Structure 1
Amino acid sequence: MSGVLDRFSLSGRRVLVTGGSRGLGRAMATGLAEAGARVAAVARTPAQDEPGSGVVNLAGDVADTARLGALVDEAERVLGGTVDSVVHAAGVQHRSPAVDFPLEEWERLIRVNLTAPFVLSQEVARRQIDANLEGSHVFVASLTSTLGLPNIAAYGATKSGVMGIVRSLAVEWAPQGIRVNAVGPGYFRTALTESLFQDDEARERLMKRIPQKRFGSPDDLAGALVFLASDASAYVTGQLLMVDGGWTAA
């Protein structure tokens, strides 16, 4: 019987991470690689490969759902086999009062944040089932998966929808040994939240709301991702793991 620390190891695992060139997606890809996984990090503008990092960077746009099959083909080629885990870190944001929210922005967020991860998980799961391979799919949820925030109606809709997908796929794919979970970041300083951090009043208001009295660092997500991708969470599926400094508990 392996020890508990062995169950956190991702040695030999092949992981596909979308949105993996910067911000939270990059931190996730790096953390998974440090746990032993070989990672294919996909982004529209990929990062530069760093020899020995365990991360291979691929160009791809998840919004182009017709090409997601070809994207998985390329990931399997560089990883050397069927993908064991997929992490859906790609996402976009648009801030606007609901009464003025542009329809084209609504549709863009739905396509990137909700439709694309579902279609990609479809593609990966088909291959896992055909290969009789157990797997882990990790979606990226949000504070807005559980509560409402102003001026981000489309984002809230997509992140609430993500949890509907997670619960449905978790139940449907459990007999095949495929687990489906989500990680829910709180406030981290990334490109999606930079406009808030530039506003001194908003930044101070957010800080007061966080019980741990600090914003998240991208590295704070690594442990949660390793847990959900590894055998340490073998009996965990359909769940949302919040990494928010206590925001949703307060």
Structure 2
Amino acid sequence: MKGKNIVIIGGNSGIGKEVAAQAEKEGAKLFLYSRSGEGTTQLDITDENSEIQDLPEVIDGLVYCPGSINLKPFHRISPEDFKAEMDVNFFGAVKILQACMKGLKKSESASVVMYSTVAVQTGMGFHAGIASAKGAVEGLVRSLAAEWAPNHIRVNAIAPSLTDTPLAKQLVSTDEKRAASDKRHPLGRIGTPQDIAAATLFLLDEKSSWVTGQILHIDGGMSSLK
């Protein structure tokens, strides 16, 4: 990881911020982007006219963190809601991947990490919007992993369950809500940004040099245990 150029989209909050902190400790050179621009280069991935600036010539790692949690019953999800989910989670990722492709191909061993959700594999009520968008992400991950393998670019995703980030604050805003969320997980707690960041760094590192096209479930056992 030392000396590697790592691009993080959404690098000033939640999981992205923790990935940046852990990667910096490992000696990586960081290129951080976020919508607010606070401590990063400003980039709104939902703005069709927004272009990513100041990318390094060689990109050894790309982490795409933007996401959404909009839980509604299906009959209340409008076409505009579905589009908004896709814009942040899928089309924004496509835009960034295409912008970074040239730099990734110049690396001797590049790694792309994206994020899905446990709700793609495990059917959950009120998750139709986000599960649909992240399902598209998982398809993209596998397709690009196959297409870019000859270029020595690995593409993987992490599928977390509920993680204690600003994005999820409404779901754990009271002691009662947090306790109920903890109880739903076989390991007895929700995830932390550190949990997800540690897995992200593994996928960015050469330790995972034979791993591509995978969806890594870091979810406290939610997807596979009862």
Pair 1:217–1:132, CA change in 2 (3 A): closer
State how 1:1-250 maps to structure 2 within 5 Å.
Answer: 10-48=1-39, 57-68=40-51, 71=52, 73-76=53-56, 81-129=57-105, 131=106, 133-198=108-173, 202-250=177-225
The answer as to whether partners of 1:19 and 1:91 remain within 8 angstroms in 2 is no
Structure 1 position 18, deviation (Å) = 1.1
Letter aligned with residue 54 of structure 2:
E
Equivalent-residue separation in structure 2 for 1:104 and 1:113 (angstroms): 14
The answer as to whether partners of 2:116 and 2:134 remain within 8 angstroms in 1 is yes
Equivalent-residue separation in structure 2 for 1:30 and 1:207 (angstroms): 26
Structure 1 position 66, deviation (Å) = 4.5
The answer as to whether partners of 1:35 and 1:226 remain within 8 angstroms in 2 is no
Pair 1:115–1:37, CA change in 2 (3 A): same
The answer as to whether partners of 2:33 and 2:42 remain within 8 angstroms in 1 is yes
Equivalent-residue separation in structure 2 for 1:132 and 1:16 (angstroms): 13
Measured on the aligned residues, the alpha-carbon RMSD in Å equals 1.8
> What TM-score do you get using the length of structure 2 for normalisation?
0.92
| Moved >2 Å (runs of 4+) | 64-68, 126-129, 131-134, 198-206
Any stretches of 5+ residues in structure 2 without a counterpart?
A: none
Equivalent-residue separation in structure 2 for 1:169 and 1:93 (angstroms): 25
The answer as to whether partners of 1:65 and 1:116 remain within 8 angstroms in 2 is no
Pair 1:65–1:172, CA change in 2 (3 A): farther
Give 3-state SS (helix, strand or coil) of 1:181's partner.
Answer: strand
Equivalent-residue separation in structure 1 for 2:220 and 2:76 (angstroms): 32
Give 3-state SS (helix, strand or coil) of 2:12's partner.
Answer: coil
The answer as to whether partners of 2:60 and 2:107 remain within 8 angstroms in 1 is no
CA deviations over 1:133-156 (Å, ceiling 9, x no partner): 431110111112212222231111
Structure 1 position 122, deviation (Å) = 2.0
Structure 1 position 242, deviation (Å) = 1.6
Give 3-state SS (helix, strand or coil) of 2:75's partner.
Answer: helix
Give 3-state SS (helix, strand or coil) of 2:36's partner.
Answer: coil
Structure 1 position 169, deviation (Å) = 0.3
